[in-house]
Amino acid sequence: MSTVAAVVVTYNRKDKLTKVLDHVLAQTRRPEWVVIVDNASTDGTDEVLKEYEQIDGVVVVRLKDNTGGAGGFATGMNKSYELGADFIWIMDDDCYANSDALEELLNGHAKAEEAMGMQLPYACSLVKWVDGNICEMNNPGTTWDWGKLIAKGQENVLVTHCSFVSVLFPRWALTKFGLPLTEYFIWFDDQEYTLRITKAGPGVQVLRSVVVHDLGQNRGVNFGDVNASNLWKFEYGARNESSFRLHHENPVSWLKFLARLVQGLRHGNVPWSIRAKLFRKVVEGIAFNPKPKMPRSVL
């Protein structure tokens, strides 16, 4: 039977973390390992983790520095790979998985592969917000023939990219394409990674696998929302997407991104000082082109 490692990356969110872990540990298909990556939390998360560490199969990786979501997921996925997991299921520390979320992901992925006659590089869940509506930030992009599997009676949608909120990767995807780009730190790391591995074939969103993303507000990513307090995040987003569109797609795609950015900032009436900082990051992205690290085969 295939083995699964669940990966949860956490940073200063100990209250939600326990709920996340309890949901993971209560899965109908319990993962063989639960790898928790603590991104150098300072809020007492470690005390919580010490308790969970007593549970069989729970592995805690304590990082000395906060490496962002990108670094945390790369670390957790690498650790899971080293442990020998056949599948790696990753999520944030504010994601509550329905009890059958993993089971449905595995089933949906297997059925989709059978119907497509090919290996599929990932399967993601349907992400809802706390009120039961779709979580706007975690909507995957779909392929042109997204309904192909629905036409075959499955509740699965073909996708081109998704967020790192409940997504399952088969081991071979990491062997072939490596790990997420740690250097991205935060934002666009999930899109870059899932777009990268989609070169092997589409991903699949398994609609029967449901998780709840406990965000403060249900809103997608929009450059018009940038302000002085969240600027740091948008700066990473601008640099990372600029780098990706230019180095992994093409100059036209980069220009389209630039147009979208300009338009978003204009619609949001973003102050010019903030706009200037973001454009500086876009320029930084031109020279920024990190390469993926490959995981180590240990067991």
| Interacting residue ranges for other proteins, rule: CB under 8 A | 82, 84, 119, 171-172, 174-176, 296-299
Minimum CB distance to other proteins smaller for 172 or for 232: 172
Smallest distance, other proteins to C-beta of residue 89, A: 18
Q: Which of 88, 81, 98, 82 is nearest to 31 (CA)?
A: 88
CB of 200 to other proteins, least distance (A): 10
For other proteins, the closer of residues 200 and 207 by Cβ is 200
Least Å distance, CB 286 to other proteins, is 21
Joined tokens for residue 59: 């592995």
**61 with 36: CB under 8 angstroms?**
yes
Which residue's CB is nearer to other proteins, number 119 or number 263?
119
Which lies closer to other proteins via its Cβ, residue 141 or residue 292? 292
Q: Which residues 6+ apart lie within 8 Å of 179 measured at CB? A: 74, 77, 78, 292, 293, 294, 295
Amino acid at the residue 46: D
What is the closest distance, in whole angstroms, from the C-beta atom of residue 259 to other proteins in the complex?
Answer: 33
Q: How far is the CB of 176 from other proteins (least distance, A)?
A: 6
Q: Which is nearer to other proteins, 263 or 297 (CB)?
A: 297
Rounded to whole angstroms, how far apart are CA atoms 152 and 142? 17
Residue with smaller CB distance to other proteins, 179 or 270: 179
Q: Which is nearer to other proteins, 175 or 263 (CB)?
A: 175
Ramachandran sector of residue 226 (left: φ over 0; alpha: ψ -120 to 50; beta: rest): beta
Non-local CB neighbours of 37 within 8 Å, separated by 6+ positions: 7, 8, 9, 10, 61, 63, 72, 73, 75, 76, 79
- The enclosing H or E element of 125 equals strand 123-129
Q: Which helix (H) or strand (E) holds 234?
A: helix 231-244
Q: Nearest to residue 192, comparing CAs of 88, 79, 292?
A: 292
Exposed/middle/buried for residue 285 (C-beta within 10 Å: 0-12, 13-18, 19+):
buried
User: Do residues 228 and 274 make contact, with C-beta atoms less than 8 angstroms apart?
Assistant: yes
Task: Report in angstroms how near the CB of residue 198 gets to other proteins at its nearest.
Answer: 17
Least separation in angstroms between residue 172's CB and other proteins is 4
